């Protein structure tokens, strides 16, 4: 049985008791106990009715009687209630000072690490990279991004003096042996290219092209052409043999160049060392800056950047798909490993954690200072969507039990007061009057 049903039954029971007491009082020639029942039931019924009226008047017009003043208090004061709730939330429950004090007690970095430790792994890092890249790719227009990227890159190069960086870079590369590694890579690439089947025909075409240039209209006399034709007919000049010789010499040269003590490699390193020293001279530095500025004005790197951006997009394209079974690209896997390694390092670095904590709290405090009023706006906009009927139901549902208990208490207390009044009136007041009248 609900509290509302108990309150209603108590009112009905007291009303029935009042009627029964009234009938018995007149039928039985007004004995004292019927009078006591009448007092008790009447007082209890009045208390129950008064509390029913008071509780009902908070939310509606009792029995639909709109002419009674001071009823339907909640609907009539809807705007004041909304203003009061907004003010309560903004200035009392969620005021700036209270929120800032609570933020100061929390360590968001440790909470974040604790949460991530339960879920973080290489697979999650890869999924995170996919989502981030998908978000970036959806908002990047390569055609419009390339000109901006070219301008920023040229501006950065224009402001930077090349000579010191080139000098330091060359010195560092030579110290670490990167120049040998680069040459070895170039030589290996050249060897693979020379071994392809189209190289010999290309050498032959080059020789024939040079022959045609030499024996052309303006390239030689009739005697020269005649002698060359005679030598070719006598097999003194054989392009196939020349191609074989050049091809063997080319392979031999590439194989010899792999030796780090080869004279050409030694010469190249000596020239690089001289260049490192020359780049430190002021006149060379100024000349390099002039050349750089001219090159930046004449050179367009937009096609290269376009190819670079398109290549990156192709590498990252699977991130834009919602499918989860797409194999991650090499770049995605590399970024995922990098992110995972950084996360593991960050967990053990106190300075990094402290910096992250400061940034997080600074951002949150800035958002609270700037957007605190949004809390009241959210509360107001939410309550504004409530109709009067829904608002009444919402408030009434939160205090239903307590309000109905007030009605039950009113009936009980009214009955108790009725019993006390009867006892005072007929148990004390009348005997005192009779005693005073006799005296």
Clarify whether residues 67 and 177 are in a common domain. Answer: no
For residues 48-52, give the mean pLDDT. Answer: 88
Q: What φ, ψ does residue 327 adopt, rounded to 5°? A: -65, 135
| Residues 249/255, Cβ–Cβ less than 8 Å | no
Q: How confident is residue 328, by pLDDT bands cut at 50, 70 and 90?
A: low
CA distance 342 to 344: 5
Percent of the chain with pLDDT over 70: 85
Q: How far from the centroid of its chain's Cα atoms is residue 174's Cα?
A: 45
| 402 class by beta-carbon count within 10 Å (0-12 exposed, 13-18 middle, 19+ buried) | exposed
Q: Establish if 95 belongs to a structural domain.
A: no
Clarify whether residues 189 and 294 are in a common domain. Answer: yes
pLDDT at residue 224, as a whole number: 53
Q: Establish if 337 belongs to a structural domain.
A: no
Q: Identify the residue whose tokens are 């042996």.
A: 177
| 195 class by beta-carbon count within 10 Å (0-12 exposed, 13-18 middle, 19+ buried) | exposed
CA distance 130 to 322: 9
For residues 117-130, give the mean pLDDT. Answer: 72
CA distance 101 to 367: 15
Helix ranges (DSSP H) in 261-320: 263-278, 282-298, 302-316
Going by C-alpha positions, the residue among 413, 416, 399 that lies closest to residue 3 is 399
Q: How far from the centroid of its chain's Cα atoms is residue 154's Cα?
A: 32
DSSP 8-state secondary structure symbol assigned to residue 322: -
Alpha-carbon dihedral 290, 293, 298, 301, rounded to 10 degrees: 140
For residues 44-69, give the mean pLDDT. Answer: 85
What is 104-122 written as a DSSP string? HH--HHHHHHHHHHTT-SH
pLDDT at residue 215, as a whole number: 60
- pLDDT at 376 exceeding the cut of 60: yes
Clarify whether residues 276 and 171 are in a common domain. Answer: yes
DSSP 8-state secondary structure symbol assigned to residue 72: S
Instruction: For the chain, report the end-to-end CA distance as a whole number of angstroms.
Output: 57
- Token pair for residue 262? 């080869």
Q: How confident is residue 322, by pLDDT bands cut at 50, 70 and 90?
A: very low
Going by C-alpha positions, the residue among 305, 335, 304, 338 that lies closest to residue 318 is 335
- pLDDT at 310 exceeding the cut of 80: no
Q: How far from the centroid of its chain's Cα atoms is residue 79's Cα?
A: 37
Q: Establish if 137 belongs to a structural domain.
A: no
CA distance 68 to 168: 94
pLDDT at residue 236, as a whole number: 47
Q: Which of 234, 268, 299 is the last residue of a domain?
A: 299
Q: Establish if 365 belongs to a structural domain.
A: no
- pLDDT at 396 exceeding the cut of 50: yes
Instruction: Pick 13 or 85 by higher pLDDT.
Output: 13
Clarify whether residues 173 and 275 are in a common domain. Answer: yes
CA distance 161 to 279: 11
Mean pLDDT for the chain overall? 79
Q: Which of 241, 269, 299 is the last residue of a domain?
A: 299
Clarify whether residues 165 and 71 are in a common domain. Answer: no
Q: Which of 250, 267, 299 is the last residue of a domain?
A: 299
Q: How confident is residue 342, by pLDDT bands cut at 50, 70 and 90?
A: confident
Cα–Cα separations (whole angstroms), residue 273 to 172, 180, 213, 266, 282: 11, 14, 40, 11, 17
pLDDT at residue 25, as a whole number: 82
Q: Report the range out of 117-126, 298-307, 323-332 with the highest average pLDDT.
A: 298-307
Look at the chain and report how many structural domains it folds into.
Answer: 2
pLDDT at residue 352, as a whole number: 86
Q: Identify the residue whose tokens are 């690209």.
A: 329
pLDDT, tens digit, for every residue of 138-194?
A: 666 667 777 888 888 888 888 888 888 888 888 888 888 888 888 888 888 888 888
Range scoring the smallest mean pLDDT among 48-52, 170-174, 190-194, 337-341: 337-341
Q: What φ, ψ does residue 224 adopt, rounded to 5°? A: -60, -45
Cα–Cα separations (whole angstroms), residue 241 to 202, 204, 215, 237, 238: 14, 10, 20, 9, 6
CA distance 157 to 159: 5
Give the residue numbers spanning the domain of 230: 161-299
Alpha-carbon dihedral 376, 377, 380, 386, rounded to 10 degrees: -140
| Residues 255/247, Cβ–Cβ less than 8 Å | no
Range scoring the smallest mean pLDDT among 45-59, 71-85, 203-217, 406-420: 203-217
Q: Establish if 130 belongs to a structural domain.
A: no
Query: Considering all CA atoms of the chain, what is the largest pairwise distance in Å, rounded to the nearest integer?
Result: 177
* HSE (side-chain half, CA atoms, 13 Å) at 406: 12
Q: Which residues contact 101 (CB under 8 A, 6 or more apart)?
A: none
| 59 class by beta-carbon count within 10 Å (0-12 exposed, 13-18 middle, 19+ buried) | buried
DSSP 8-state secondary structure symbol assigned to residue 216: S
pLDDT, tens digit, for every residue of 228-271?
A: 554 455 554 566 777 788 888 888 888 888 888 888 888 888 88
Q: Establish if 225 belongs to a structural domain.
A: yes
Clarify whether residues 399 and 288 are in a common domain. Answer: no
CA distance 113 to 346: 10
Clarify whether residues 168 and 295 are in a common domain. Answer: yes
- pLDDT at 306 exceeding the cut of 80: no
Q: Establish if 422 belongs to a structural domain.
A: yes
CA distance 428 to 422: 9
Q: Establish if 367 belongs to a structural domain.
A: no
pLDDT at residue 381, as a whole number: 83
- pLDDT at 34 exceeding the cut of 80: yes
CA distance 305 to 144: 12
């Amino acid at each position: 049985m609900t509290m509302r049903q108990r309150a209603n039954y108590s009112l009905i029971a007291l009303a029935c008791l009042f009627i029964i007491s009234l009938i018995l009082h007149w039928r039985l020639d007004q004995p004292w106990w019927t009078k006591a029942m009448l007092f008790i039931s009447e007082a209890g019924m009045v208390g129950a009715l008064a509390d029913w009226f008071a509780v009902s008047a908070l939310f509606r017009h009792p029995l639909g009687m709109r002419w009674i003043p001071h009823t339907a208090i909640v609907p009539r004061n809807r705007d004041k209630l909304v203003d009061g709730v907004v003010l309560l939330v903004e200035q009392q429950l969620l005021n700036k000072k209270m929120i800032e004090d609570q933020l100061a007690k929390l360590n968001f970095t440790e909470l974040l690490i604790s949460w991530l430790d339960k879920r973080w792994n290489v697979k999650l890092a890869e999924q995170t990279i996919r989502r981030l890249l998908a978000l970036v790719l959806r908002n990047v227009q390569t055609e419009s991004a390339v000109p901006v990227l070219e301008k920023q890159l040229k501006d950065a190069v224009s402001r930077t003096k090349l000579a010191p960086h080139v000098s330091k870079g060359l010195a560092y590369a030579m110290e670490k042996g990167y120049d040998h590694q680069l040459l070895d890579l170039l030589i290996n690439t050249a060897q693979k290219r020379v071994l392809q089947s189209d190289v010999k025909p290309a050498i032959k075409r080059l020789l024939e092209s040079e022959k045609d240039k030499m024996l052309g209209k303006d390239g030689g006399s009739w005697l020269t052409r005649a002698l060359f034709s005679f030598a070719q007919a006598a097999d003194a000049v054989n392009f196939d043999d020349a191609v074989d010789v050049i091809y063997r010499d080319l392979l031999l040269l590439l194989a010899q160049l792999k030796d780090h003590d080869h004279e050409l490699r030694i010469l190249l390193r000596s020239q690089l060392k001289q260049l490192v020293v020359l780049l430190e001279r002021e006149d060379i530095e100024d000349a390099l800056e002039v050349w750089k500025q001219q090159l930046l004005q004449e050179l367009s790197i937009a096609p290269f950047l376009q190819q670079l951006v398109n290549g990156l997009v192709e590498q990252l394209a699977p991130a834009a798909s919602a499918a989860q079974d797409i194999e991650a690209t090499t770049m995605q896997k590399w970024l995922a490993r990098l992110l995972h390694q950084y996360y593991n390092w960050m967990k053990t670095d106190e300075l990094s954690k402290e910096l992250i904590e400061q940034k997080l709290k600074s951002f949150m405090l800035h958002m609270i200072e700037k957007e605190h009023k949004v809390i009241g706006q959210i509360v107001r906009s939410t309550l504004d969507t409530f109709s009067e009927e829904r608002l009444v139901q919402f408030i009434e549902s939160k205090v239903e039990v307590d309000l109905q208990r007030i009605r039950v208490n009113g009936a009980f207390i009214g009955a108790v007061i009725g019993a006390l009044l009867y006892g005072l009136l007929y148990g004390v007041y009348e005997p005192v009057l009779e005693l005073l009248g006799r005296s």
